[in-house]
Structure 1
Amino acid sequence: MKKILSVVLGLTLSGSCWASSASFDEYVEKLKVEARGNGISESIITEAFKDVTYKPRAVKADRNQPEKKLTLDEYIPRAVPDWKVEQAKSLYKQHYDQLQQIGEQYGVNPRFIVALWGVESNFGKFTGNYSVIDALSTMAYDGRREAFFRKEAMAALEILQQGHISPADMKGSWAGAMGQCQFMPSSFLSFAADGNGDGKKDIWTTEADVFASTANYLSQSGWDEHHTWGRQVKLPNGFDTSIQGRDAEKGKYLQEWGAMGVTRYDGRPLPKLDKDIKAWLIAPDDANGRVYLVYNNYNVLMKWNRSYYFALAVSHLADRILLD
């Protein structure tokens, strides 16, 4: 493991004390020291931090995220409007051959690749205009999650060192999420893939790389191409909803849920599969709202983004691509 020079200088990696007694410019100098200790070249450090700027709008965005909680009945139509479904279907057809090839290579259902693309960045239209180095330096300096954002800044520098993108073109959200699949830099290093064979992993402008990177993430996170994500269900009167949740011990086989009176949303019995599958009951609002039985692929989507609502939006869009 590469030794981090900042440890030698007494700058702890786990604390959030760097920013408390330093100006932003002084803080950036400390980031440069850490980068050198991580083996980042002087030319990359110079170019990456050449015009680095503190971004108060990023801090404001972090601290003023919306507090109002929508119900799923309100959220799903906003996250997956009909126009987005039509775009998803059109793009699925447009890129069909490439998506099928990548889906087969990674063992991932192509419609989920398109659905993630649509929910994350509206098919690459909204990827963020912040310099990633600006955003991550700002968020680290802010101090609330310094260790996390400092780690991501070092990962961003590693991406630049590998030559996948230039500092000027490395754009993302206020939090440093990058490209059309909105990977944080550490996720890029773990999952980004070269879909078109040009030697670069370009999740900003190369759709083949976006698709391959998305598929690789899902594949490495445990995706099972032989099953879908789950289904909306109906509970019998008086059902004990305390057994809901995604904890491992709360998973039951479909036939067990069926024996407890859980049905498809339209009242039909749950499907009988040649090989039964484990499912978890979730009610993200409450038992009076939408209720689902979800399979392991839904748990994989929750690794991508830990929001029940996000994972359900992706799942809903993937279903609309297939069924409409």
Structure 2
Amino acid sequence: MAKKSARSIIFSLVGIFLIALSTPSFAAKEPFDQWLSKLKVEARENGISQTTIDSAFANVTLIEKVVKLDRKQPETVQTFQEYMAQRLPQSLIDTGKTMLNQNRVLLEEVGRKYGVQPRFIVALWGVETRYGKYTGGFSVIDALTTLAYDNRRAAYFRKELLLALKILDEDHIQLADMKGSWAGAMGQSQFMPSSFVNFAVDFDADGRRDIWTTKADVFASAANYLSKSGWKDDQTWGREVQLPKDFDLSLVDLKIAKPMKEWEALGVTKIGGGPLPSRQLVGSLVQPKGGNGQTFLVYDNYRTILKWNRSTYFAMSVGHLADLIGDG
């Protein structure tokens, strides 16, 4: 009898353990149903129709994987060289040239309107989603609901979730098609809902800002983002440079900006020792973490790319891909 009782206790404990494993480890302080009821009220107060609210949350699901991904440390384990080799394979460069040529008329029209060189529009498209091939398979509503309920960055994701509902309410996308990354970044340009509201463009004038399937809207939205963030179409992003052996490394800082002649006076040259460009652009020196001292002189457009994604590796990959794509 005692053995049977012990066995039952063990099975019960195992059952509790398995249930715990299958339940998301959220940091929320109230039951989900109560939390969701309050969110629905807030959405209604923000002007979202009851029809949109009901359909969006009819089968909403909390996603454990999203919580785990959000908790991962952002530090990369790759060196800069490893990252660039992985993110910019020759196939991505070749496809970028093809995409630029195939869409040249549209890209040049968009580029003229927003003051952004087509190669940078294509480079962002390539780095973000491999030219629309990988846009994410998570339900944006489920992902944002999960992150808003989790409490770690609840205020930010609650705002994004309410904006996602607004996008649905305005019929820019159907609920079933509103897919994106685990963090809720959407479409071929990987816009968060706030970026969509602020920068997405209905370039083909069909009444919808479609960053999921309409290239005209995808290109124009990306260009509009860059333009409104300070892009300068008469400049590039930067270039790799060479430092003298006795160079003061405290000057390698994005906060320190100098014109070309001042960097040249300090011994900074092009790779191979050639002089820097004669145009007196103001630039800063950057050495990517894990880059073995590889150094770049970057300009204002580099800072603008960082507004899109606050990652040195990301900004470098966009700039390099744009250079490699060139004019197609």
TM over 0.5: yes
Query: Residue 253 of structure 1 corresponds to which residue in structure 2?
Result: 259
**Residue 326 of structure 2: SS of its match in structure 1?**
helix
Tell me how far apart the structure 2 counterparts of residues 119 and 140 of structure 1 sit (CA, whole Å): 27
Query: Residue 206 of structure 1 corresponds to which residue in structure 2?
Result: 214
Given candidates 295, 301, 305, the residue that maps to 1:297 is: 301
Matches within 5 A, 1:160-239: 160-239=168-247
Q: Judge conservation of contact 1:24–1:54 (CA < 8 Å) in 2.
A: no
Query: Residue 266 of structure 1 corresponds to which residue in structure 2?
Result: 272
**Residue 266 of structure 1, CA deviation:** 2.1
Given candidates 82, 85, 88, the residue that maps to 1:77 is: 85
Query: Residue 64 of structure 1 corresponds to which residue in structure 2?
Result: 72
Query: Residue 7 of structure 1 corresponds to which residue in structure 2?
Result: none
**Residue 33 of structure 1: SS of its match in structure 2?**
helix
* 1:318 lines up with 2:322 in the alignment: yes
1:42-65 C-alpha deviation (Å, 9 max, x unpaired): 111111111111111111222235
Structure 1: which 5+ residue stretches go unaligned?
A: 1-17
Distance 1:287 1:187, change over 3 A: closer
Tell me how far apart the structure 1 counterparts of residues 64 and 290 of structure 2 sit (CA, whole Å): 37
Q: Judge conservation of contact 1:241–1:287 (CA < 8 Å) in 2.
A: no
Task: State the one-letter code of the partner of 2:301.
Answer: N
**Residue 277 of structure 1, CA deviation:** 1.0
Out of 199-208 and 26-35, give the one that drifted further: 26-35
Query: Residue 282 of structure 1 corresponds to which residue in structure 2?
Result: 286
Query: Residue 106 of structure 1 corresponds to which residue in structure 2?
Result: 114
Corresponding residue pairs, total? 303
**Residue 283 of structure 2: SS of its match in structure 1?**
strand
Q: Judge conservation of contact 1:230–1:292 (CA < 8 Å) in 2.
A: yes
Q: Judge conservation of contact 1:152–1:184 (CA < 8 Å) in 2.
A: yes
Q: Cα RMSD between the aligned structures?
A: 1.6
Tell me how far apart the structure 1 counterparts of residues 99 and 184 of structure 2 sit (CA, whole Å): 26
**Residue 220 of structure 2: SS of its match in structure 1?**
helix
The runs of at least 4 aligned residues of structure 1 exceeding 4 Å deviation read 65-68
Query: Residue 19 of structure 2 corresponds to which residue in structure 1?
Result: none
Structure 2: which 5+ residue stretches go unaligned?
A: 1-25
**Residue 323 of structure 1, CA deviation:** 7.2
Q: Percent identity?
A: 54
**Residue 194 of structure 1, CA deviation:** 1.1
